[in-house]
Amino acid sequence: MNLQNPKKFKMMVDQAHEVALNVFRPISRKYDKAEHAYPKELDMLASLLDGMNAGGGSEAGAATAGKRGEKQEDGVRNGSNMSTALGIMELCYGDTGLLLSMPRQGLGNSAIAAVANDEQLDRFKGKWAAMAITEPGCGSDSAAIRTTAVKDGDDYILNGEKIFVTSGERADCVVVWATLDKKLGRAAIKSFVVEKGTPGMTVERLEHKLGIKASDTAAISFIDCRVSAANLLGNAEIDVAKGFAGVMETFDNTRPLVAAMAVGCAKASLERIKEIFKDQLDPNYSTPVLNTSNIAATIYRLEAEWEAARLLTIKACWMADNKMPNSKEASIAKAKAGRIGSEITLKCVELAASVGYGEDELLEKWARDSKILDIFEGTQQIQQLIIARRELGKSSSELK
């Protein structure tokens, strides 16, 4: 096993690291305090990333991550899922909220990349897409969605309410999960691309949050919202035998990317706490843990947990690049990185005491930002449930 990052991505990773340090970090506190203010500094970065992808370069970004193309018969492939995750890790080393605010890098873009057909990929290319799943009565159990989509000629009419939509106000369009028939359960849930300004779609409010304040989080209502049938992503047929699998491919795509966010944010906290306590740490790791201080032993343990989360995330992305089923591995990566990311950032605040709790440092901000990464795209508990189903060979109805 080669556990090093692919060399072909080194330039992209280095560039993302520089952006994290020289663009994100200097404005991090500014937009944490100015919640809902759009970070205009990101427009240039988004255009730069678009140019890199258009030039056939790095293929980094949410819109390029997917399982498309033919599986290679010989060798292995390190592709867009891997490059996107590595870039996200570095950018979240700077600021998670600012990454989530970058145009055309929304979770909806990953959803489109996962399940859209070729015509839709071309039509929605260059769009900034948010993703709307959660509802007032439906959190991590996506199968409980109550937003409806009723066929009417060449259109669908959407009715329902979505909450906690990241970039819901700023994005060009929203990928909305809705059911075609409530009686058929999971199999009838499909995703629709609803363009900004579509009659019947209204941003009701923006949420005030614990963290990722640079990112806008919206509640959106859909009242007799007419959407073209051509905007239904993937197959319009309801396949009861396949069940929820079609739409769930989106999560196989996005959960490793959220895990990468947690890895990047935790890396920032770890490196800062190592700077603070550098006199107590052995840079060569040659001192047995039992002979070190409690602070040093704690930091070493957190580093080991962080490395495990990073490698699990890379594995899930690598499997996607090589067209392997990665649903279990995506959930493992998300569960591990989400939990350990929050644990690391909070523990670093604790170890740094008053220094970690004050606004002179970004440690307290990283702790606030990291918590959402253990919640959205499926909570810790949901990920463990999915992993258990895969391990035991149980269906969702057999193991709840």
Annotated catalytic residues are 377
Which pair of tokens denotes residue 81?
């899922």
Report which DSSP code applies to 42.
H
3-state secondary structure of 206: strand
3-state secondary structure of 231: helix
User: Within 13 Å, how many C-alpha atoms sit on residue 76's CB side?
Assistant: 12
Nearest to 191, CA basis, from 240, 224, 145, 253? 145
CB-neighbour burial class of residue 294 (10 A; exposed 0-12, middle 13-18, buried 19+): exposed
Report CA Rg, the chain: 21
Location of structure tokens 């392997």: 324
Which letter, b or e, does each residue of 219-250 get, where b requires 16 or more Cβ atoms within 10 Å of its Cβ? Answer: bbbbeebebeeebbbbeeebeeeebbebbbbb
140 within 8 A of 128, measured Cβ to Cβ: no
User: Within 13 Å, how many C-alpha atoms sit on residue 272's CB side?
Assistant: 29
Which pair of tokens denotes residue 23?
């663009």
- Amino acid residing at 173: C
CB-neighbour burial class of residue 350 (10 A; exposed 0-12, middle 13-18, buried 19+): middle
Residues ≥6 apart with Cβ < 8 Å to 358? 364
In the chain the beta strands, taken as DSSP E runs, fall at: 129-132, 148-152, 155-166, 173-179, 189-195, 201-206, 217-228
CB-neighbour burial class of residue 68 (10 A; exposed 0-12, middle 13-18, buried 19+): middle
Nearest to 131, CA basis, from 180, 160, 173? 173
